Amino acid sequence: MKLLLLLGLVTLAQCLVSRIPLRRAKSLRQSLREHGLLDRYLKQHPYNLAAKYFPTSTSAEPLQNYLNTEYFGTISIGTPAQEFTVIFDTGSSNLWVPSVYCSSQSCKNHKRFNPADSSTFISTNDSVYIAYGTGSMTGILGYDTVTVTSIEVTNQIFGLSETEPGDFFYYAPFDGILGLAFPSIASSGATPVFDNMMAEGLVARDLFSVYLSKNEQSGSFVLFGAIDPFYATNGITWIPLSAETYWQITMDSVSINGKSVACSSGCQAIVDTGTSLLAVPNGALGTILRTLSASSDGEINCKSVSTLPDVVFHINGKAFPVSPSAYVMESNGFCSLGFEGMNVPTESGELWILGDIFIHEYYVIFNRAKNMVGLSPLP
């Protein structure tokens, strides 16, 4: 935002000096859209456009889009570097990868960190256990150099898995997880990677931003230290956090066709890049499915998708719609809604998880300096 303001002031000053009347020119996005060239342009310029504006102070990590449900990038750990693919997860706070100590089947078909091969590894006697909604891990903690895109974080604490029970991580197309939530929910008190980036002055601003592509397209990224102005042309709405744990916010209500269908008295939600769907309280799920004429298990007639309404999330006094093209999933000629039920009570009501289906519609800024989430609608 500082960059955009500065450019505006410079333009205004030049016009006043030369007495040139000010006119609002069409944006690049508008011109491309009018000529039917926007989609092709986005495919040809998929990510890291911020490098044009912030060539030395920010880093964009490209993310691979796996079936529109998981997004992961590559990091390295150790000296010399050992590479791993990880989910950049705003719903957890720890970094961990499989290790040579792991005996689970899940580790045998993924890359495994070998501390004996790193001259900068420092061992500890501390253990770590992390439980997710779809899997868990146990292991030990160690310190080493972690490199994320061009950012090198020295003495970063991370988990080396020893067990990964179940089959979720076995079938996962990624190796580990890099948590981007707050230190308060980090297992074993481990300092998150982004906190060390901030503490060591490795990012220009204490924030990061995320773009997740739809339709299995390329171009997804997480950008550390900046807001890419190309993806924020529709303006940014800033929403204060209600808790500094997850990226948790307060929602006012959820509506369909102008009628409140859930969260009518307010509720809590977290913006979570590590959750594929929209996770809602079980009671609300039934109401949403009935309103959208879906079956009890979420199936819907594919022919009716074009007539479905937006599901609108009202947050901090503003409306954030999610279109049918985002919340309907099609596979082999069958269609289903991207909502799943869960019950997680909080002090302020039941919790919602605004996962990738919601994030597909918005460029999301996670601001640690002001403890806010910024949402900018995507075209």
Pairwise CA distance, residues 181 & 368, whole Å: 10
Where do we find the tokens 């303001």? 5
∠ CA 134-343-290, nearest 5°, is 105
Tokens of 46: 């998929």
Label residues 108-143 b or e (16+ Cβ within 10 Å = b): eebbbbebeebeebeeeeeebebebeebbbbbbbbe
89 is catalytic: yes
Among residues 195, 252, 272, 356, which one is catalytic? 272
Where do we find the tokens 């403890």? 371
Alpha helices in 89-206 (DSSP H): 105-108, 168-171, 193-199
- What is the dihedral angle through the alpha carbons of 112, 113, 117, 118, rounded to the nearest 10 degrees? 160
167 is catalytic: no
Among residues 89, 195, 252, 356, which one is catalytic? 89
* Residue type, position 105, single letter: Q
User: Which residues are part of the catalytic machinery?
Assistant: 89, 272
